[in-house]
Structure 1
Amino acid sequence: MFWVFESVADLQKARFADRTRRDGVRRTCDIGLWRYSRHPNYFGQWMQWSSLILLSLPVLIDRWPHHHIVFGLLTVLALAWISWTTYHMLVHYTGAVPAEHFSRQRRPDYIRYQRVTNRFFPGPRRTTDQ
């Protein structure tokens, strides 16, 4: 499901970029999923990895009685750490923050887009007064 989410976001942005390039306009993509998140493709990718972690939990629960409790707790902590690290990599190091730095320089309407649209987690838009 989240693979579809990421793919739809990428397709929407590619179509938007083609259209604005043909029109000779530099605008920020704020249609479709991009209306609810500034990086819906990164969110979809993070959710794919997090879903794999969640899918592994039944196996961990099934194997829990056969191993020492410390092993189970360390495994749960490691899985949570993987999800947390993936989120921070996608937002702060390789994805959202670096991309937004260049988007602000190239598109004059991007600052307003940042004010009204959530960075990572999809949600309703904010009013510009905030």
Structure 2
Amino acid sequence: MNAAAFAVSLAVTAAAALAVLLTAFAVGLRTGRHRGVDVAWGLAFTAVALSGYALSNGHGDSGRRLLATVLVTVWGLRLSAHIRWRARGAPEDPRYARMLSRVPEGPARTRYALRMVYLLQAVLVWFVSLPVQAAQYIPHPPGPLAWTGTALWTVGLFFEAVGDRQLARFKADPANRGRIMDRGLWRYTRHPNYFGDACVWWGLFLLAADAPVGWAFVLSPLLMTWLLAFGSGKPMLERQLAANRPGWAEYASRTSGFLPLPPRRHPAPDTAPPARPHP
């Protein structure tokens, strides 16, 4: 790996992520709603991957560069398009409304939103995507570990896309209003999309891990998995569902919280979390 060229690329990809999130911030100020940052999340990853691809020309193996870039772009654009479709005509996301309500309206709230919603996510995008950026600078063709990562990415995208589609169809039926989605992939995990997201980023990590330098970036998928399972993903959503969905406790007691597993035949008591939208 050309360390000097990679360092320059890291600076440019950071600027690319920042540009996308600052654009989303400007849109949020104009519309008065900050939920658009979720659309920018996938677009920022795509911008980082495309920037890294352009800058790594002549430094990394062309096949590995293309593979990493295509996988991130497909994932990022699908996620952004889905979130944009889901949020059409919707009011502010309750997560951001609660977060920003801690600060009085005015310039202080604007600065808080910039710092805690947009700039923080720009940093996360750049950090989580480090294995992809490293993979684009590895000079040899993908090996077995990289192809294993591609297979894991495919599993992850399946869980995300199919889970999102199943949930959308469930919500579109008026008869299901107020009910818990417990069909399809949701029968085996309460969060197929979060599980899929984790698989995607561990798969992308493996694209870099078949070179020794790739293991320096193992904290990136670890952080993403922590955010999904223990940070701003699963816990926030489950608190909201526990408070607003009758039957949530029973569903949670028989359904795995993250990894897809067969439903429990005899639900364990008190496994529901104390009183988010799906991501």
- Kindly indicate whether residue 253 of structure 2 is the aligned counterpart of residue 115 of structure 1: yes
Matched, 1:36 2:175: no
Residue pairs, 1:1-130, within 5 angstroms: 1=154, 2-19=156-173, 22-23=174-175, 25-58=177-210, 60-61=211-212, 72=213, 76-79=215-218, 81-130=219-268
1:73-95 superposed Cα distances (whole Å, 9 cap, x missing partner): xx52531x222211110112211
**Residue of structure 1 in register with 2:133 after alignment:** none
Structure 1 residues 57 and 31: alpha-carbon distance in aligned structure 2, compared to 1, 3 A threshold: same
RMSD of the TM alignment (CA)? 1.6
Aligned equivalents of 1:101 and 1:12: distance in 2? 22
Equivalents in 2 of 1:112, 1:25: separation in Å? 17
Q: Distance in 2 between matches of 1:103 and 1:13?
A: 14
CA contact (8 A) 1:116 1:128 kept: yes
Superposed displacement of residue 104, structure 1? 0.8
TM-score normalised according to structure 1 size:
0.80
Paired with 2:176 and 2:200, the residues of 1 have a C-alpha distance of 35
Secondary structure in structure 2 of the residue aligned to 1:93: coil
Q: Write the letter of the residue equivalent to 2:215.
A: V
Structure 2 distance, partners of 1:24, 1:12, is: 13
- 1:9/1:34 contact within 8 Å kept: yes
What is the rounded CA distance, in whole Å, between the counterparts of 2:192 and 2:207 in structure 1? Answer: 22
1:17-37 alpha-carbon deviations (Å, 9 max, x no partner)? 111xx1263111000000000
* Structure with greater contact order relative to length (CA < 8 Å, sep ≥ 6): 1
State the Cα distance separating 1:118 from its structure 2 match: 0.6
The 3 A distance-change label for structure 1 pair 24 and 54 is closer
The structure having more radius of gyration, on CA atoms, is: 2
Partner of 2:60: none
- Structure-2 separation of matches of 1:78 and 1:25: 43
Contact 2:159–2:196 (8 Å) recurs in 1? yes
Structure 1 129/50 Cα, relative in aligned 2: closer, same or farther at 3 Å? closer
Change (3 A) 1:38 1:129: closer
Q: Which runs of 5+ in 1 are unaligned?
A: 62-71
